[in-house]
């Protein structure tokens, strides 16, 4: 029976992605979905995009893809050098036309009705569903500030703790907290690029995500990072 395999933030960690795919062994009928941030910070973003194509992957837009696309558009328009890190700037000149076309087509969310879930990169405002969220929230939120507004900061309450919407949210973007098993949201950014793990949530055909965190853990598959490729996980972006 066909499975749905949802992979956390890869960030160019091609070796770990290859090992994770070997471990879950997707068949021809399985879907391999990604929570965004396929590229940047890790050692081989082009290799990740190649594997992504091989498994006929689908992904949502991450904040790093969004940043790269904005810089690429600025360069194409003849603007000044975009304000991006050296790692991102290097990628601007290594990605080919097919790669840019792939990134341009990434949606902000993927609805997977047979599992009762929606995939976004970062999250949603707890008081709204993903269909009501703005692009910044979907790609950058980590928490809710004391005034009830979406925030990229790590030191406020995680948005997932308050979320109680109809669609279960599967997301990434918050490696500081790592695995998050909130009642109606599952965070699977386990910090591979920082020396942690690369994690996938594997669901059988039509399987709903269990509300019990212990049962949900049984659906996760992880491989350890070969090493830490990047050290700055404190950036709000």
Q: Convert the pLDDT of each residue in 97-128 to its tens digit.
A: 999 999 999 999 999 999 999 999 999 999 88
- What pLDDT sits at residue 86? 76
Does residue 236 fall inside a structural domain? Answer: no
Bridge partners, 120 (sequence order): 109
Does residue 72 fall inside a structural domain? Answer: yes
What is the C-alpha separation between 71 and 16, in angstroms, rounded?
A: 27
The percentage of residues in the chain with a pLDDT greater than 90, rounded to a whole number, is 84
Answer yes or no: is pLDDT of 213 > 70: yes
- What pLDDT sits at residue 130? 83
Does residue 179 fall inside a structural domain? Answer: yes
Does residue 229 fall inside a structural domain? Answer: no
| pLDDT tier at 82, thresholds 50, 70, 90 | low
Q: Model-level pTM?
A: 0.95
User: Which of 102-116, 164-178, 220-234 is the least confident region?
Assistant: 220-234
The percentage of residues in the chain with a pLDDT greater than 70, rounded to a whole number, is 96
Answer yes or no: is pLDDT of 198 > 60: yes
Does residue 234 fall inside a structural domain? Answer: no
70, 5, 32: which is closest to 237 by C-alpha?
A: 70
CATH number of the domain to which 194 belongs:
3.60.21.10
Region 36-56: mean pLDDT is: 97
Find the domain containing 210 and state its range: 4-224
Answer yes or no: is pLDDT of 202 > 80: yes
- What pLDDT sits at residue 235? 55
Does residue 237 fall inside a structural domain? Answer: no
65, 79, 68, 37: which is closest to 188 by C-alpha?
A: 37
**Which DSSP letter does residue 132 get?**
G
Please say whether the beta carbons of 118 and 169 come within 8 A. Answer: yes
**Which DSSP letter does residue 164 get?**
-
Q: Give the mean pLDDT of the chain.
A: 93
- What pLDDT sits at residue 128? 82
35, 41, 40: which is closest to 95 by C-alpha?
A: 40
User: Which of 48-57, 88-97, 144-153, 182-191 is the least confident region?
Assistant: 88-97
Does residue 104 fall inside a structural domain? Answer: yes
Domain count for the chain, please give it.
1
Answer yes or no: is pLDDT of 85 > 60: yes
| Both tokens assigned to 110 | 């993927």
What is the C-alpha separation between 222 and 224, in angstroms, rounded?
A: 7
Does residue 203 fall inside a structural domain? Answer: yes
- What pLDDT sits at residue 68? 94
Count of alpha carbons within 13 angstroms of residue 149, beta-carbon side: 4
């Amino acid at each position: 029976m066909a499975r749905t395999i949802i992979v956390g933030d890869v960030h160019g960690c091609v070796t770990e992605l290859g090992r994770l795919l070997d471990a879950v062994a997707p068949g021809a009928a399985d879907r391999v979905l990604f929570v965004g941030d396929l590229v940047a910070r890790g050692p081989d973003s082009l290799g990740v995009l190649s594997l992504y194509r091989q498994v006929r992957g689908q992904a949502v837009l991450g904040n790093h893809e969004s940043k790269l696309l904005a810089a690429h558009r600025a360069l194409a328009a003849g603007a000044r050098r975009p304000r991006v890190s050296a790692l991102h700037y290097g990628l601007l000149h290594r990605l080919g036309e097919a790669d840019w076309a792939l990134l341009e087509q990434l949606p902000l969310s993927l609805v997977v009705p047979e599992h009762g879930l929606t995939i976004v990169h970062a999250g949603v405002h707890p008081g709204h569903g993903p269909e009501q969220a703005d692009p910044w929230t979907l790609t950058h939120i980590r928490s809710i500030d004391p005034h009830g507004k979406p925030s990229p900061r790590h030191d406020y309450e995680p948005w997932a703790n308050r979320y109680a919407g109809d669609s279960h949210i599967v997301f990434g973007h918050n490696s500081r907290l790592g695995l998050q098993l909130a009642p109606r949201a599952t965070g699977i950014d386990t910090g591979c690029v920082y020396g942690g793990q690369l994690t996938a949530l594997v669901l059988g055909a039509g399987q709903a995500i269990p509300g019990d965190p212990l049962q949900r853990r049984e659906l996760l598959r992880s491989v350890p990072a070969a090493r830490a490729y990047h050290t700055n996980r404190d950036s709000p972006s």
